[in-house]
Amino acid sequence: MLHEISFQSFNQRDQVQGWIYVPAARPLGVIQLVHGFGEHSRRYIHMISKFLDAGFIVAADDHVGHGRTAVVNDSWGDWGDKGPHTMMEDEHTLTTLVKKQYPGLPYFLFGHSMGSFIARDYITAYGEELNAVTLCGTSGVFPGLEQGMAMLKAAVDAGQGEASDPNAAGALLGWMCERCTEEIRFGNEWICSDPCVQADHAMDPLDAFSRPTSNRAFLYFCQMIDFITGPAWAEKVPKDLPVYNIAGGEDPVGQYGAGVRQVSSWLEESGHRVTTKIYDGYRHEIHNYADLKDEVERGILDFFRGTMNT
């Protein structure tokens, strides 16, 4: 069963488009899936199907400025003007809607890439409402963050918030291709070494990969990362919330494993339970490798189910 839903964004302008996938069985719990920058939730259809087959309801939406939400609101690359917590608050609205419709079930959060940043923001504010969280392809100290924030804040302060600086994306994200320069066709080769995944991502009409992002949205992106960076962030996360932190060993977003372990260290040093898994030899989208995605999804399910028995 599929519910298509729409709700007002925290930005007070857009109608967020979402979906609640329900298995044809008594559900064991709910997994809310939070997608990454420039993509949309239906790129996770394999994962959604696997979670459904395992007996879990799956809730997902397309963020403001992304996917179906951008199409409906004509707002590609524009997150509104209500600050860096907009997407996190939208995810909590989705949680509230799902819990009202399906009360009393264990509730889990999965976030990939920017979705993991949103999830890390979410668990500082609403972590007590979850049973566990999986962070996938997250980042430690983000390279060039302070310079990027300064550049973008200057543009916004100069009245260029709705404009898009063509140099911003390159300055903030261009370094991600540093280990695959000889392969470049689309500029997204860092996500996965499979050329079919690269082409699918680049040509997807619901992806914002090739579309401009406003200076204000990029500034919010940077401010969100700044908020979730360091031991002070970890101290805000509920101590009894289990965390599964996974990534590819060749993922530049996670600084090739070092940044992922850094996030786990911040949490461990503040008394949290963290399980860390690095898939050596794989890039950013570990869930999109044909030879790995079943193992990745099985690991997520095993982790979530394990927290239900403790």
Q: What is the pLDDT along the chain (310 residues), one digit of tens a residue?
A: 999 999 999 999 999 999 999 999 999 999 999 999 999 999 999 999 999 999 999 999 999 999 999 999 999 999 999 999 999 999 999 999 999 999 999 999 999 999 999 999 999 999 999 999 999 999 999 998 999 999 999 999 999 999 998 888 778 888 888 998 888 889 899 999 999 999 999 999 999 877 899 999 999 999 999 999 999 999 999 999 999 999 999 999 999 999 999 999 999 999 999 999 999 999 999 999 999 999 999 999 999 999 997 5
Q: Which residues pair with 32 in a beta bridge?
A: 59, 109
pTM above 0.85, yes or no: yes
Q: What are phi and psi of 224, to 5 degrees?
A: -65, -45
pLDDT at 175: 87
User: Domain limits at 17?
Assistant: 2-141+225-308
Contacts of residue 59, Cβ cutoff 8 Å, sequence gap at least 6: 18, 19, 20, 21, 30, 31, 32, 33, 94, 95, 98
DSSP annotation of 159 = T
Question: Is residue 55 a part of any domain in this protein?
Answer: yes
pLDDT at 123: 98
pLDDT at 210: 75
Question: Is residue 125 a part of any domain in this protein?
Answer: yes
Question: Is residue 166 a part of any domain in this protein?
Answer: no
Question: Is residue 122 a part of any domain in this protein?
Answer: yes
- The kind and range of the H/E element at 248 are strand 243-248
pLDDT at 211: 86
101: domain CATH number?
A: 3.40.50.1820
What tokens were used for 252?
A: 């530049």
Question: Is residue 47 a part of any domain in this protein?
Answer: yes
Question: Is residue 176 a part of any domain in this protein?
Answer: no
Question: Is residue 218 a part of any domain in this protein?
Answer: no
Cα radius of gyration rounded to whole Å, the chain: 18
Q: How many CA atoms lie within 13 A of 20 on its CB side?
A: 19
Question: Is residue 8 a part of any domain in this protein?
Answer: yes
pLDDT at 49: 98
Describe the crossing of helices 215-227 and 114-126 by its angle, rounded to 10 degrees: 60
Please identify which residue in the block is written with the tokens 């898994």. Answer: 277
**Total of domains in the chain:** 1
